[in-house]
Structure 1
Amino acid sequence: MVARHIKTAGLVANTATSQKVSDIVKGVIDDIRTNGDKAVRTYSEKFDKWSPSSFKLTESEIQECISKVPAQTIADIKEAQKNVRTFAEAQRASIKDFEIEIQPGVFLGQRNNPISTAGAYIPGGRYPLLASAHMTILTAKVAGVKHVIACTPPILGQIPNATVAAAHFAGADEIFLLGGTQAIAAMALGTESIKKVDFIAGPGNAFVAEAKRQLFGEIGIDLLAGPTEVLIVADEFADPFTVATDLLSQAEHGPDSPPILITTSEGVGQQTIKFVDEILKNMPTAELAGTSWRDYGEVVIVDSLDEAYELADVYSSEHVQILTQSPREALEKMRNYGSLFLGEKTCVSYGDKCIGTNHVLPTRKAGRYTGGLWVGKYLKTQTYQEVVDEKASGEIGRLCGRCSRAENFEGHARSGDLRAHKYLQDSYSWIDEANK
């Protein structure tokens, strides 16, 4: 493959900064593990300047928040949640319990049981990401999770009313105005006022992601997410203005969100660069989007679409948008991505906000081995087995004995021997000696 950059990224990850984040997060987690609510309040005051009498919103407080949200926003939340619910219900219906009889009298099966309790983190740093409520809480409820705790931070000392409304309509059982590492640690460890959960989902900043990483194992998590990523594959027929607009739509997430274009047309590449520069002149979020474009943006020229798909699989981006004449070709050509957005009529922002698929997606090349958040993440696929036929149990016992002794597991072998003895009358010296 011959690929040529006409714009390259200017920065690489700062490992020193990552270590500093890790150290801060560990200190917060250790303190909350020891001191519970007292430590939670200390860090909320320190990081968010927020220390109400109770971090948990009462039902009347929730209703007061909802009353302050414009009617159109409420209607839009409900419509977006309807889309998310419809897709999540289709996912749940695709996951089947089953039981098979692999031989006479031997039954194997699986059940998909929901996690009991889950925590949903809804970011609120630069933006009130109320759509994350749809993705985390509603998906958990469709999966059958009985108790979902939602945490979202105050924004500049104010309650994010629309986020609270979204969390309520999504089905949150408890809503806490609490953010950052302290929210993740409180849900994962449990405190005097916050129940310990079994699983935490939701995007967040570097501190939230690091807290989830450090606590993984004590609780389950959805993903180890990094900054938002977008990659566009474009042919010579793509509209450069659309390409530029859609790249910047994701670059505004933060100053380190990589926007990447792979195209078979140098003309499309050059025109896209020009349009990006023009759009940034009057874009309200230009400071963030422009920084991401300058430091992490790339434009790569390749000779064919096959090469474009091959290179895109190497990047394994979170969002991959296909702006070609035959966009569905990518479904067959690509394997590594968080989610595909096919054709000019489908933009990544649809997935972020309202179309119905989940926006919690793998980053940092994790699309090579996992997909994003979905109903199945909230389910435990658990197996069971039952042997009701004596002859079958005896024969499996013989097999178990041989397999176990091949691995020097004598105790395992004897469990198999016992069934062969009981049901097939096989003779074993260890049984005779034990019963003297």
Structure 2
Amino acid sequence: MTETHFKKGALKAAEAADLSASVSAILTELEAGGEAAARRLSRDLDGYDGDIVLSQEAIAAACARVPQALKDDIAYAHENISRFAQAQRDSITETEIELRPGLTAGQRLIPVQAAGCYIPGGRYSHIASAMMTVTTARVAGVPHIAAVSPPRAGAVAGIPDAILYTLHRCGADRILALGGVQGIAAMAFGLFDLPRADILVGPGNQYVAEAKRLLFGRVGIDMVAGPTDSLVVADSTADPLTVAWDLIGQAEHGANSPVWLITDSAVLATEVARLAPLCAAELPQPNRAAAESAWAGLGEIILCENRDQMAAQADLIAPEHLHVQAADLDWWKSRLTAYGSLFLGAESTVAFGDKAAGTNHVLPTSGAARYTGGLSVHKFLKTVTWQRVTAEALPRLAAVTANISRFEGMEGHARTADLRLEKYTFQSS
């Protein structure tokens, strides 16, 4: 038996429109026009004419308006995210090794000097994205962290108070009420007295993603992210209602967010297919419309013969979020190889990782988990190497280098090796 599409999406996953020309034109305008162009675009696109660079007084006032209960919850999540990021940082170290007598090599871990964090601010207020990006950069040791977020109607300081509080608590050095391409450009080009960003991170809409893609090379980026996606692997031990809600809970991101169920149980597949639309119907608007569209157009249920086939299908899809609700979780943990973040057991849920558990929620989408992981302290660290040579290692090292160089036809390289063989071994003898 091969896998069967018990439910297939009515649409192909939405592909981002070709925005390159328009985004490129906006970036060119911003680089040439600087802050004036950024202010003009903010007025035209976001209808915002307030302060772009938020003062410490405005931030303090916003922090004072945040309810203490929410501050406590943010503190809980921030501590988990910070501790996990620190554990990641501690897992890599600077290294030095004497490869041969007189030949020593090593690696250093150097943080980038300036990071730019984009915090989405469209339909939802992304408190969690503020924590995931700024906290991770701070733990990595980045000296300057800028954060931008689109201005929101009704926000006293331009950005919602809770996002401002979170950015301040997590350690952002400068906060700008600026969204879209203009927000990305401000960090990349060093507008509003920001240092030019060495790396741009954080999720955003298709304009933000395209701006990051076009700027890559001039600056580093975390990844080019598409619509969020989520996959549940479940066997007959799983609860259908839990599975259905886990799928719909992620489908509410938007009509272009794919969700999949892979199972070896036809009974489970049938019940989840029945329950998922009912779960979506319970959501308030606009979440309901987004979830219903995503489930109808992009939701899939794939029926497999056994767990090996289930795992192979999951690896083939390489989802951003992969949730296993099946027996023998240790087997699944060791077998699965392609995902942005893995959630093991029905007690866990993708929302935990999205908001507060500690692992980062800026993750590869659209199958990119086949070749990369998500945002981590490693993205903000340059692993650079060094070497030192003494006379003891020179004779053999220089001779090998010169021989390989001449074989390759690179005489100049060979002569730099010859020079050291003649000069420095002679002086030390």
Normalised to the residue count of structure 2, the TM-score between the two structures is 0.96
Q: Note if 1:56 corresponds to 2:53.
A: yes
Q: CA contact under 8 A between 1:394 and 1:421: conserved in structure 2?
A: no
Q: CA contact under 8 A between 1:230 and 1:318: conserved in structure 2?
A: yes
Structure 1 counterpart of 2:350: 348
* Structure 1 position 193, deviation (Å): 3.6
Tell me the distance in 2 between the aligned counterparts of 1:45 and 1:11: 36
Structure 1 counterpart of 2:83: 86
SS at match of 2:232: strand
Q: Note if 1:65 corresponds to 2:67.
A: no
Q: CA contact under 8 A between 1:5 and 1:300: conserved in structure 2?
A: yes
Q: Name the CA shift for 1:403/1:11 in 2 (closer, same or farther; >3 Å).
A: same
Structure 1 counterpart of 2:119: 122
Tell me the distance in 2 between the aligned counterparts of 1:341 and 1:397: 52
Tell me the distance in 1 between the aligned counterparts of 2:13 and 2:43: 30
* Structure 1 position 255, deviation (Å): 1.3
Q: Deviations over 1:242-298 (max 9, x none)?
A: 000000111111111111000001110110011111112221111111111111110
* Structure 1 position 157, deviation (Å): 5.0
Q: CA contact under 8 A between 1:132 and 1:359: conserved in structure 2?
A: yes
Structure 1 counterpart of 2:367: 365
Q: Deviations over 1:5-44 (max 9, x none)?
A: 12111222555x611x222211210100110111111211
Tell me the distance in 2 between the aligned counterparts of 1:42 and 1:329: 55
Correspondence list, 1:199-278, <5 A: 199-278=199-278
Structure 2 counterpart of 1:37: 35
Q: Name the CA shift for 1:232/1:13 in 2 (closer, same or farther; >3 Å).
A: closer
Q: CA contact under 8 A between 2:402 and 2:413: conserved in structure 1?
A: yes
Structure 2 counterpart of 1:431: none
Tell me the distance in 2 between the aligned counterparts of 1:101 and 1:122: 45
Q: CA contact under 8 A between 2:78 and 2:170: conserved in structure 1?
A: yes
1:129 partner letter: H
SS at match of 1:18: coil
Q: CA contact under 8 A between 2:264 and 2:306: conserved in structure 1?
A: yes
2:170 partner letter: A
* Structure 1 position 328, deviation (Å): 2.5
2:242 partner letter: T
Q: Name the CA shift for 1:211/1:294 in 2 (closer, same or farther; >3 Å).
A: same
Q: CA contact under 8 A between 1:48 and 1:157: conserved in structure 2?
A: no
Structure 2 regions of 5+ residues with no counterpart? none
Task: Provide the aligned C-alpha RMSD in A.
Answer: 1.4
Structure 2 counterpart of 1:196: 196
Structure 1 counterpart of 2:311: 309
Tell me the distance in 1 between the aligned counterparts of 2:330 and 2:43: 50
Q: CA contact under 8 A between 2:277 and 2:295: conserved in structure 1?
A: no
Tell me the distance in 2 between the aligned counterparts of 1:93 and 1:369: 23
Point out the more displaced range, 66-75 or 346-355.
66-75
SS at match of 1:39: helix
Point out the more displaced range, 155-164 or 142-151.
155-164
2:325 partner letter: L
* Structure 1 position 379, deviation (Å): 0.2
Q: Deviations over 1:293-326 (max 9, x none)?
A: 1111100100001100000000000000000011
1:48 partner letter: D
Structure 2 counterpart of 1:429: none
Tell me the distance in 2 between the aligned counterparts of 1:290 and 1:372: 28
Structure 1 regions of 5+ residues with no counterpart? 427-436
Structure 2 counterpart of 1:25: 23
Tell me the distance in 2 between the aligned counterparts of 1:103 and 1:201: 40
2:256 partner letter: D
* Structure 1 position 372, deviation (Å): 0.4
* Structure 1 position 46, deviation (Å): 1.7
Q: Note if 1:381 corresponds to 2:383.
A: yes
Q: CA contact under 8 A between 1:394 and 1:422: conserved in structure 2?
A: no
Misfit runs of 4+, over 6 Å: none
2:190 partner letter: G
Q: Deviations over 1:41-97 (max 9, x none)?
A: 121112211121x30111110011111111111111111000001101111111110
Q: CA contact under 8 A between 1:100 and 1:107: conserved in structure 2?
A: yes
1:270 partner letter: T
Q: CA contact under 8 A between 2:13 and 2:258: conserved in structure 1?
A: no
Q: CA contact under 8 A between 2:186 and 2:192: conserved in structure 1?
A: no
* Structure 1 position 422, deviation (Å): 2.1
Structure 2 counterpart of 1:181: 181
SS at match of 1:373: coil
1:149 partner letter: A
Point out the more displaced range, 6-15 or 177-186.
6-15
Tell me the distance in 1 between the aligned counterparts of 2:53 and 2:330: 46
Tell me the distance in 2 between the aligned counterparts of 1:224 and 1:288: 23
SS at match of 1:300: strand
Tell me the distance in 1 between the aligned counterparts of 2:426 and 2:114: 48
Q: CA contact under 8 A between 1:258 and 1:296: conserved in structure 2?
A: yes
Tell me the distance in 2 between the aligned counterparts of 1:13 and 1:182: 28
Tell me the distance in 2 between the aligned counterparts of 1:192 and 1:127: 26
* Structure 1 position 425, deviation (Å): 5.5
Tell me the distance in 2 between the aligned counterparts of 1:262 and 1:192: 49
Q: Deviations over 1:81-124 (max 9, x none)?
A: 00001101111111110100011111100000100000011101
Structure 1 counterpart of 2:291: 289
SS at match of 2:392: helix
* Structure 1 position 406, deviation (Å): 1.2
SS at match of 1:358: coil
* Structure 1 position 344, deviation (Å): 0.3
Point out the more displaced range, 23-32 or 415-424.
415-424
SS at match of 1:272: helix
2:315 partner letter: D
Q: Percent same amino acid at aligned positions?
A: 43
What is the aligned length? Answer: 422
Q: Deviations over 1:193-243 (max 9, x none)?
A: 433111111011111111100100110001111111100001011111000
Structure 2 counterpart of 1:393: 394
